[in-house]
Structure 1
Amino acid sequence: MHNSEVKEKYNEFILKKNHPCIMAQTVFKMDKAVLKEYKSLGSAVTAEVLLKDLQKYIAEYDYDSNDFYSFIATFPLEKKLTEKQFETKLWQQLQLIATIDTEAWDPAVSPNPEDNNFSFSIHGSAFYIVGLHPNSSRMARKSPYATLVFNLHWQFEKLREMGVYDKVKEKIRERDEELQGSINPMLEDFGAKSEANQYSGRKVGENWKCPFH
C-alpha cells in the first residue's frame, strides 16, 4: 500500500464525504496532517516506532502558529475489527507506549483514566486521541482503515484562548447530528467526565472500566 494511495483515501473520507469535524477538514485542506503507516495495532514493535515518530512530531510542532496539525497513525494491513476488538487493541497500543515512554506525564492532566481530568500523555505532552475504524457504529469514525489520531491538548486550549472553542464544538456536534441523526452519546466537555470513554468511539456504559493503568 503506497502512502499516496492511503492519503487519498483519507482525503476522500474527510473532504469529499464532508466529514462533520471542521477541525479535521481544516487540517486536511491546509495539508497539516502528518500521516504515517504502521503494520500492526497493539504491538510492542509499533509502540517503539510510533513513540519515536510522535517525539519528532512534538519537537517540530509550531506552537507560535494559529494553524493546527494532527498526527494520524494508520494501519492499512490491520484486518477489520469489531468495535470491542478495536477498543482492546487501541488501549493495548497506548499501554505499550506508556510503558516505554521515559518522560513524566504532562502535569496539566491526570494519568488516572477514571479521573475527569484524564488525558493521555506522550513525551510529556497531553494528547486527545481519536480512534477510527471501518466497523465503527459512528459514521464520523468509519475510516478507511484502523486509525489513531493524536491531537495535542494544547490545540483545544488555543481555541479557548481565541474564544472560538464553544462555537467550533457546537458546529461539529450539529454536523454529526445531521450525518447520523444523533450526536455521539460519548462526547463530553473536557473535565465533565474522563475522556478515556471517548477514545475508541464505542458506546460504553457507566460500568465500563478503562483497561489502561
Structure 2
Amino acid sequence: MLFPTDDSVHPLALKFHAFIKDQPFPCVGAKSALAKGQLKVLVARDVASGWDDTRIYPALLAFICRYRANPKLFQSFAVVFEDASPLSEERFEGHLWDRVQSLSDKDAFLGQRYDKRVQADPDDPHFALSFGGEAFFLVGMHPGASRPARRFSHPVLVFNVRAQFEQLREEGRYEGLRSAILARDEALAGSINPMLARHGDASEARQYSGRAVGGDWVCPFQGRAKGDNDRLAEDGRDAA
C-alpha cells in the first residue's frame, strides 16, 4: 500500500472546495469542515476502477488516526476522481459499492474490527460502514446526480465520521443542524430528499449514492458476518 499524498492544492481539490463554498450548497457541516481546514481531499483516478484503492485505504486510516488524536467536530475525508466520464445514477451507484466493498475487504483482511456501535448488515436499520474500527456515513456525488447538492463535475466519495453525529446529539446541536441542512437542500432542489431517514429507522445504505430507490432495492454490499473479526484474529494467532 502507498503512503497518503497531500492533494490539498490539486486543481480538483480546489474545485471541490469552491463547490462546497458556493452559497447554495446546503451542507453546513461540510462548509464548517472546509472553513476549519478539516476536510481532507485525496485525488484518485477513476471511480470505476480499483487502481487507487491501495492509496485510498491507507489515506482513510491516516484520517482516522488524526481524528482520534484530535476529535474535533466537522472532519471529513473526500476522494475526488479525475475521470469525469458520464455516468447514470445506477452506474455510479454500482461503482460506489464496488469501491466500498474493496476498501471493506482490505479492512477485514488486515484484521480491523467492525465498529461495535453500528451493524455490518446493510439491511439492518443500524447499519453503517466501518473502517479502522470507526463507523462512517458515506455521501456520493457525481455529474449525473438528480439532486443538485450531489451534482459535482467529478465523482466524489465523502466519508463522514459517525461519532460526530452522536457528539452533536449529546451537545443538543444535532436537530438544529439537521433542520438547517434540510431546509437549504429543499430550497436548492425545490423538494425534500425522499431518501432521508434517521439512523435506526431504516438502513442508511439507501442514502449513500444519492439515487432515489424503491422498497425492493437490494444493497450489493456484502457485510461481514457475525464473528468474522474473531475468526480473523484467531487465524492471525495460528499463523504466528
Corresponding residue for residue 188 of structure 1:
197
Contact 1:80–1:146, Cα closer than 8 Å, also in 2:
no
Q: Give the SS at the match of 1:176.
A: helix
User: Against the structure 1 CA distance between its residues 82 and 31, is the aligned structure 2 distance closer, same or farther, given a 3 Å change threshold?
Assistant: same
Residue deviations 1:113-141, cap 9 Å, x none?
Answer: 00000000111110000000111000000
Q: Which runs of 5+ in 2 are unaligned?
A: 1-6, 223-240
Which blocks of at least 5 consecutive residues in structure 1 are unaligned? none
Structure number, greater radius of gyration: 2
Distance 2:196 2:219 in 1: 16
Are residues 1:53 and 2:53 paired? no
Q: Which moved more, 1:37-46 or 1:158-167?
A: 37-46
In structure 2, distance between residues paired with 1:124 and 1:65? 15
Identity of aligned residues (%): 37
Please list, as runs of the form range in 1=range in 2, the aligned pairs for 1:44-193 lying within 5 A after superposition.
44-62=50-68, 64-101=70-107, 102=110, 103-193=112-202
Q: 1:3·1:37 contact (CA, 8 Å) conserved in 2?
A: no
Change (3 A) 1:42 1:94: farther
2:46 alignment partner in structure 1: 40
TM normalised by structure 1 equals: 0.94
SS at structure 2 position matched to 1:188: coil
Amino acid of the structure 2 residue aligned with 1:100: K
Alignment of 1:189-208 (within 5 A): 189-208=198-217
Q: How many residues matched? A: 213
Alpha carbons of structure 1 residues 177 and 41: separation in structure 2 relative to 1, 3 Å = same
Quick one: structure 1 residues 208 and 9, their matched pair in 2 at CA, closer, same or farther if it must change by over 3 Å? same
Shift of 1:64: 4.7
Deviates more, 1:196-205 or 1:158-167: 158-167
Letter in 2 for 1:134: P
Q: Deviations over 1:9-30 (max 9, x none)?
A: 1122111243111101111222
Shift of 1:31: 2.1
Note the C-alpha offset of 1:46.
2.3
Decide whether the 8 Å contact of 1:133 with 1:144 is kept in 2: yes
Q: What TM-score, normalized by structure 2, do the two folds share?
A: 0.84
